[in-house]
Amino acid sequence: MATVLTETHSALALIRLNRPEVLNAIDYPMLAAIGAACDAAVADPAIHAIGITGEGRGFCAGLDMALLAAHADEGRLHEPGSAPPPPLFGFLRDVPKPVIALVNGPAAGGGFILTMMADLRFASTAASFTTSFTRRGLVAEHQASWLLPRIVGLGRATDLMISGRRMDAEEAYRIGYADRLVAPDALIDTARAYADDLAAHVAPRAVAVVKAQINRDLSLDEGAAWAQSAEQISAALGHADAAEGALSLVERRKPRFTPFTGR
């Protein structure tokens, strides 16, 4: 059985984690399949957003227990002084189309990291979230201590990481971790409508640049961020999409922006 299933819903590419018998726990084939599915979605100009959800009642229970046991036996992920491995699902932040975590059930450990690395989080009322690090004798992993405070604020991030407690969907929405809160049967349709709105109204190349700006500027001071943004503004003004955006407004019609395939 494929560990990942893919579907297309209008302008949305949907990736389904498909190990429901273990609440979609992550193994290496699943990681590779998610990356391949994202690459295919980026290469398709008809796709304007990528959604990731879980098959069955869970979103993702984290790393497969066999992988966790292997890492525990090894004692460390890399040797001191060597380059660390990339963070789990960190590649999602480099995908040049919006990635939406469509959280249909429990997201724990590595599953929580997946939601954190996504650009947006749409949660069904059946969703729940837990970092679970400290409850497994672990510390904040995969950039959580750097990225989570930037999403929900320092105090809330500290609580979630120190306690490892379960956060339900309503709390996630209230504190700003979930960007949408919807009924379970409306989750995919909500994401499809979001992707279709992007397809109808925004320039996909501009979306890719803005996503890269947001992730880059998290690590820059104000002056450096402005210097780089000024260069990108100049480049945007020289692109055909800028003229089309203005012309479509004057002519009161939908814009016809340049198709985008990641380049």
Q: Which phi and psi (to 5°) does residue 157 adopt? A: -65, -40
In a domain, 257, yes or no: no
On whether both 177 and 73 belong to a single domain, the answer is yes
Please tell me the total count of domains within the chain: 2
Would you state the torsion angle of the CA atoms of residues 76, 157, 64, 94, taken in this order, to the nearest 10 degrees?
-90
In a domain, 228, yes or no: yes
pTM of full prediction above 0.75? yes
pLDDT score at 64: 84
On the CB side of 17, CA atoms within 13 Å amount to: 35
Tens-digit pLDDT profile for residues 53-77: 999 999 999 988 766 655 554 555 5
Would you state the torsion angle of the CA atoms of residues 39, 44, 50, 51, taken in this order, to the nearest 10 degrees?
-100
On whether both 127 and 244 belong to a single domain, the answer is no
What beta strand segments (E) does 3-146 contain?
Answer: 4-9, 12-17, 49-54, 99-103, 106-108, 120-124, 128-130
On whether both 35 and 57 belong to a single domain, the answer is yes
155 to 43, 111, 148, 151: CA distances (angstroms): 40, 22, 10, 11
Pick the closest to residue 211 from 99, 116, 113, 114 (CA basis). Answer: 99
pLDDT score at 69: 58
pLDDT score at 52: 98
Distance between alpha carbon 39 and the CA centroid of its chain, in Å? 14
Pick the closest to residue 178 from 103, 110, 114, 122 (CA basis). Answer: 122
On whether both 150 and 242 belong to a single domain, the answer is no
In a domain, 260, yes or no: no
Pick the closest to residue 110 from 190, 205, 34 (CA basis). Answer: 34
In a domain, 258, yes or no: no
On whether both 154 and 228 belong to a single domain, the answer is no
On whether both 98 and 227 belong to a single domain, the answer is no
34 to 13, 70, 96: CA distances (angstroms): 12, 22, 15
Q: Provide the 10 A C-beta neighbour count for residue 85.
A: 10
Q: Which helix (H) or strand (E) holds 180?
A: strand 180-182
pLDDT score at 42: 97
On whether both 234 and 130 belong to a single domain, the answer is no
Q: Which domain holds residue 212?
A: 203-250
Using the 3D structure, point to which of 162, 180, 198 is the last residue of a domain. Answer: 198
On whether both 159 and 243 belong to a single domain, the answer is no
In a domain, 187, yes or no: yes
On whether both 221 and 190 belong to a single domain, the answer is no
On whether both 157 and 244 belong to a single domain, the answer is no
User: Which one-letter amino acid corresponds to residue 232?
Assistant: Q
Tens-digit pLDDT profile for residues 207-240: 999 999 999 988 888 888 888 888 888 888 889 9
In a domain, 259, yes or no: no
Q: What is the CATH number of the domain that holds 61?
A: 3.90.226.10
pLDDT by residue for the chain (263 residues), tens digit each?
A: 799 999 999 999 999 999 999 999 999 999 999 999 999 999 999 999 999 999 999 999 998 876 665 555 455 555 566 667 788 999 999 999 999 999 999 999 999 999 999 999 999 999 999 998 887 778 778 889 999 999 999 999 999 999 999 999 999 999 999 999 999 999 999 999 999 999 999 999 999 999 999 999 888 888 888 888 888 888 888 899 999 999 999 999 999 999 999 87
Query: What angle is formed at CA 145 by the lines to CA 143 and CA 148, rounded to 5 degrees?
Result: 90
On whether both 220 and 149 belong to a single domain, the answer is no
pLDDT score at 185: 96
CA pseudo-torsion sign 209, 214, 111, 179: negative
On whether both 12 and 110 belong to a single domain, the answer is yes
Phi-psi region of 158 (alpha: psi -120 to 50; beta: other; left: phi over 0): alpha
In a domain, 261, yes or no: no
What percent of the chain is modeled with pLDDT above 90?
A: 72
In a domain, 222, yes or no: yes
